[in-house]
Amino acid sequence: MSADPGQLREAMSQFVAALHGAYLDQARLLPVGEQGELPLLRADRLTVLAVGVRHLHVLATTSPVPAPRGPEVELPGSLDGLSWTLRFFDPVVVPALGLVDETAGPQPAEVRRVLGVPDVVYHLSVSPGGGLTPHHAQHAGTGLANQHAAQFRDHDAIRAHAGTRVALAEEYAVADRLGLHQAARLLAQRLSPSDPALAAACADPDAPDDAVRHALLAALRSPAGVG
């Protein structure tokens, strides 16, 4: 791919449009009620940030983002009723991004911290040399829709089995959705403090968030319940 900034921005614009298109296509296969709960379809205002550090980060947020200034660039986009604005950031635009050390791998939480955007609908990280092709976008968009639908069903079931701790289950759902790993683990253990399988999943730093969520749901469904 050419290193020309204009062509790179156009490639990113096409990638985001293809990603959103695949998400919408997959969403249409779900029951109507689940479609309405998908984060991307519930968003009234969506800003997609393309952030170049060592890795490329593509994240979408519903949080307000100030108008572009100086060298900042934004591109509008829309598809089948979904509208968004694509913004571009790198260490030239936000110097603090230059301090993010990604030599050992992408640091999505640190990128969000530097940008001050903790609430995201999705956050993808693309390794150097990774593709921005329609194939990659199709795969990413389909996967995101399935992931969001699975999260919705799991969170709904957790609330249903939380007994009097529904408010705690709501807090857990928010932490899990935002990728607040430690907070989600602490809340999960408060929901079911005596389940050994859940405790083991929460104690494992390499356990993915969905493994913790599944362990929590299994714990709440067990005869001991919330314990």
pLDDT tens profile 103-141: 999 999 899 999 999 889 999 998 877 778 888 999 999
Residue 115 sits in the same domain as residue 21:
yes
Residue 207 sits in the same domain as residue 124:
no
What distance in Å separates the CA atoms of residue 59 and residue 183, rounded to the nearest whole number?
A: 21
What distance in Å separates the CA atoms of residue 22 and residue 25, rounded to the nearest whole number?
A: 5
Note the pLDDT of residue 48: 97
Decide if 197 is inside a domain: yes
Note the pLDDT of residue 1: 41
What distance in Å separates the CA atoms of residue 70 and residue 9, rounded to the nearest whole number?
A: 17
Decide if 127 is inside a domain: yes
Containing domain of residue 212, as a range?
A: 161-221
Domain boundary among 145, 173, 192: 145
Mean pLDDT, residues 25-49 taken together: 90
- Residues of the chain above pLDDT 70, percent: 96
End-to-end CA distance of the chain: 56
Residue 31 sits in the same domain as residue 137:
yes
Residue 88 sits in the same domain as residue 121:
yes
Residue 138 sits in the same domain as residue 188:
no
Decide if 25 is inside a domain: yes
Domain boundary among 145, 174, 192: 145
Asked whether residue 210 carries a pLDDT value surpassing 70, the answer given is yes
> Does the predicted TM-score (pTM) go above 0.85?
no
Altogether, the residues listed in the chain come to a count of 227
Q: Which tokens sit at 179?
A: 């990728």
Mean pLDDT, residues 186-200 taken together: 95
